[in-house]
Amino acid sequence: MFGFGKPKPHREIDAAELNAMMQQNSVLVVDVREPDEFASGHIPGAMNLPLSRFSPGDVPEANGRTVVLQCAGGKRSAMALEKCATAQSVIDTHLAGGIGAWKSAGFPVVQD
């Protein structure tokens, strides 16, 4: 009735929107895949905070940028967003389709 206990809605952005945000330096991309997945190819500038040990408190200060979570296809980043909502974090955005959508859109990936 009053919205208590309801999870806050998650915002999904597509690869083109994320790319535009990156061009404006207005985003901090957090990849929640495991380190081996991250090393095999990730979005340039992304930082790796695996879901297996993800805590919203580990995300560095974004300094006015939007934090966007990302994984392989969107499931794990949505799970990380649930952790953020539980922790009452301001993080509420993830990349729809994950790195798969990023690659399909033709945007670059880097390997470690």
**What are the residue ranges spanned by the domains of the chain?**
11-104
Query: What is the pLDDT confidence band of residue 111, given thresholds at 50, 70 and 90?
Result: very high
Instruction: With a cut of 90, say whether residue 10 has pLDDT above it.
Output: no
pLDDT tens, residue by residue, 90-100:
999 999 999 99
Enter the CATH code of domain 11-104.
3.40.250.10
Q: Estimate to the nearest angstrom the gap between the alpha carbon of 65 and the chain centroid.
A: 13
> Cα–Cα distance between 107 and 2 in angstroms, integer?
42
* pLDDT score for 57: 95
- Cα–Cα distance measured from residue 31 to residue 42, given in angstroms and rounded to the nearest whole number: 8
pLDDT of 7: 55
DSSP element (H, E) containing 37: helix 35-40
Give the pLDDT confidence score for residue 8 in this predicted structure.
58
**Cβ–Cβ under 8 Å, residues 84 and 92:** yes
pTM metric for this prediction: 0.92
Task: Write the Ramachandran bin of 38: left for phi over 0, alpha for psi from -120 to 50, otherwise beta.
Answer: alpha
Looking at residue 9, its pLDDT comes to 74
Mapping DSSP to helix (H, G, I), strand (E, B) and coil, where does residue 67 land? strand
pLDDT in tens, 12-70: 999 999 999 999 999 999 999 999 999 999 999 999 999 999 999 999 999 999 999 99
